[in-house]
Amino acid sequence: MTGIEMELRLLEDVISGGASVDLPDDGIHRIFYVVHGRVSIGSSVLRDDQALHVSGPSRLVAAPSGATVWRFELAPAAAPLVSFSQPSGSTTGKLTQRLKWPVADQILIRNDSVAFPPGGCAFLHTHQGPGIRCLIEGGIRIDTMGHSTSYGPGGAWFEGGPDPVFAQAAIDRPSRFIRVMVLPARLKGQSSIAYVNAEDREKPKSQSYKGYVDQPIGS
C-alpha cells in the first residue's frame, strides 16, 4: 500500500435474512462488527458485539433473522464500494476520511470499544494513528481543534491522532463507542493513548476497553 492514497471508511449494512454479498480480492482490509443479528463470513460466525478482520475474497451471509453490521474499510482511495441493495438489504455510507499515508513503516489495524460510566470522560489526549469511532449507546461530546460536537447512537466521527481530544460522556447513562484505528505495528497489544497534561496522567481513568481485532497488516 506504499505510494497509494488510502482512506478509512465506515459503512452500515442492514442485511435481509439469508441475503449474501461476495467481497472481491480488491486490496481492502475490512473489519465487520455486528451491531445486531448473526452473519457468516467464510467459516466464521459472528453475533452481537463480535468482530472479524477480513482481507481477500470472501462471502458475507446473514442468518434467517437478518443482521445489522458496521463495516470498516482501510481501502485505496480509488477502490469502488461493495454494497447491498433491495431486496437483499441496504448499505449506507456513514463516514469516509482520506488518510495521511503512510502512518508508519509497519502498521496494524485495531478494532476495540471504549465504554464510559455515566458522567465519565477521557482527559485531553492524543493517539498515535488515525481512526473512525461510532457511538453504539449513550451519548458523547467530542472537543477538538476548537470545536465541540455531540453524538447520539449511530453517530460517527474521525480523529486524526495527533490533534488533542477531550471526550465527555452523557451524565445520565452509560456510553460506549466502537473504534477502528490504523497504528504503528509496534503498538500491538499496547495502548495508543497519550495524555496532554502531566497532571492527568496519574489520575484514575473512567473509560474501559474491549478488544476485538489487533492485526498487523502489510503497509
Q: Do 161 and 202 belong to one domain?
A: yes
Residue 35 in domain: yes
Percent of the chain with pLDDT over 90: 93
**130 plus 93 within the same structural domain:** no
Residue 1 belongs to some domain of the structure:
no
For cell 466502537, what's the residue? 178
Shared-domain flag, residues 211 and 118: yes
Last residue of a domain, one of 71, 98, 125: 98
Global pTM reads: 0.96
- Is residue 78, in this structure, part of any structural domain at all? yes
116 and 38 within one domain:
no
| Alpha carbon distance 39, 119 (integer Å) | 34
> What is the chain's mean pLDDT, rounded?
96
Neighbours of 68 (CB within 10 A): 17
The CB density around residue 81, as the number of other CB atoms within 10 Å, is 13
- For residue 6, the model assigns a pLDDT of 95
pLDDT of the residue at 218: 79
pLDDT in tens, 50-94: 999 999 899 999 999 999 999 999 999 989 999 999 999 999 999
Alpha-carbon span 184 to 201, nearest angstrom? 22
168: CB partners within 8 A, 6+ apart: 121, 140, 141, 143
Q: Within a domain: residue 19?
A: yes
Inside any domain, residue 184: yes
Would 132 be classed as within a structural domain? yes
Instruction: Please check whether residues 199 and 118 belong to one and the same domain.
Output: yes
Task: Give 82-134 pLDDT, tens digit per residue.
Answer: 999 999 999 999 999 999 989 999 999 999 999 999 999 999 999 999 999 99
Q: Is residue 173 part of a domain?
A: yes
Q: What is the CATH number of the domain that holds 71?
A: 2.60.120.10
Domain boundary among 36, 69, 98: 98
SS3 annotation, the chain: CCCCCEEEEEEEEEECCCCEEEECCCCCEEEEEEEEEEEEECCEEECCCCEEEEECCEEEEEEEEEEEEEEEEEEECCCCCCCCCCCCEEEEEEEEEECCCCCCCCEEEEEEEEEECCCCEEEEEEECCCEEEEEEECCEEEEECCEEEEECCCCEEEECCCCCEEEEECCCCCEEEEEEEEEEHHHCCCCCEEECCHHHCCCCCCCEEEEEEEEEECC
Q: Indicate if 63 and 152 belong to the same structural domain.
A: no
Final residue of a structural domain among 73, 98, 123: 98
Looking at the structure of the chain, the number of domains it has is: 2
pLDDT, position 1: 56
Among 3-7, 54-58, 75-79, 147-151, the range with the most confident prediction by mean pLDDT is 147-151
* Domain region containing 40: 6-98
Q: Are 182 and 131 in contact (CB under 8 A)?
A: yes
Cβ contact 120:203 at 8 Å: no
Residues 79 and 134 in one domain: no
